[in-house]
Structure 1
Amino acid sequence: MGKIESSCIIDDDPIAIYGIKKSMKEIDFCDTIVVYKNGQDAIDGLNNMVAEGIALPSIILLDLNMPIMDGWEFLDDFIKIPNNNTKAVTIYIISSSIDPRDVIKAQDYSLVSNYILKPIKSDDLLKLLSDGSNN
């Protein structure tokens, strides 16, 4: 699979965001990268995209531990976004947590495709593209 049109990073860690964006650019992952610092900003931004008729990002990389609204709360609110396009969005949880309870909890969300441990590398992103071409 070639690059995707747009992706979204939801993470409060500027170093993680920098690394992911750098890796995305290295492998020509997508045309557009949208970044939100917490789940609430992401929900607001994605709702605005829907209201303006803009397609949601194909892939969302979601951190779990963030201030204001964490990744779990984001997932609970994301499924309420009134948009037919949400089924075309694939969410990957990106976390430094190796707690097996987080991995198990992530499996309860049908929109979550996989759980990836930080730091995210170019090889991880290439795998996401190849996974997407197999769906």
Structure 2
Amino acid sequence: MNSNYNICVIDDDDIYQFTIVKILKSIDLDEKISLFSDGEEALEFLIDNLDNNEELPDVIFLDINMPIMDGFQFMEEYARIKPKLNKKITIYMVSSSVDPVDMERAKNITEISDYIIKPIKAGQLQEIMANL
């Protein structure tokens, strides 16, 4: 499995960020990890790197509930910049929410590959990365 993926985690929970980085390191997928605490930070990063595929993520793990710009707001803005991207980015919504409304809303956004309920496990991450 290629371990040279750019991985982006957008989540305001420091403990979750720490945990997912530890899991990624344990399965040798820690080559390039970008961490953002809200959707706005991550969106600015994407916009700043529109023409830089080396910096753009291959996969984004996106939380729903965050301050400033939540996951759904991020996805609205992402849809606007997606045509300008020269790289395919796979997005997974990762949330502790088991609300069927959130799950259905995520399912109806074509750019979201899947909805994963926290905590994400090493096996899930390995499978996701193997399928990229």
Letter in 2 for 1:85: N
SS in 2 for 1:61: strand
Which residue does the alignment assign to 1:90?
90
Structure 2, unpaired ranges of 5+: none
Which residue does the alignment assign to 1:100?
100
Name the structure, 1 or 2, with higher relative contact order (CA <8 Å, separation 6+).
Answer: 1
Moved over 3 A (4+): none
Letter in 2 for 1:25: K
Matched, 1:21 2:7: no
Which residue does the alignment assign to 2:31?
31
SS in 2 for 1:80: helix
The RMSD of aligned alpha carbons is 1.3
Matches of 2:62 and 2:85 in 1, distance apart? 21
Q: Which moved more, 1:69-78 or 1:104-113?
A: 104-113
Overall identity of the aligned pairs, in %: 39
Structure 1, unpaired ranges of 5+: none
Matches of 2:86 and 2:106 in 1, distance apart? 21
Work out the number of aligned pairs and report it: 129
SS in 1 for 2:108: coil
Matches of 2:59 and 2:29 in 1, distance apart? 10
SS in 1 for 2:131: helix
Which residue does the alignment assign to 1:72?
72
SS in 2 for 1:25: helix
SS in 1 for 2:115: strand
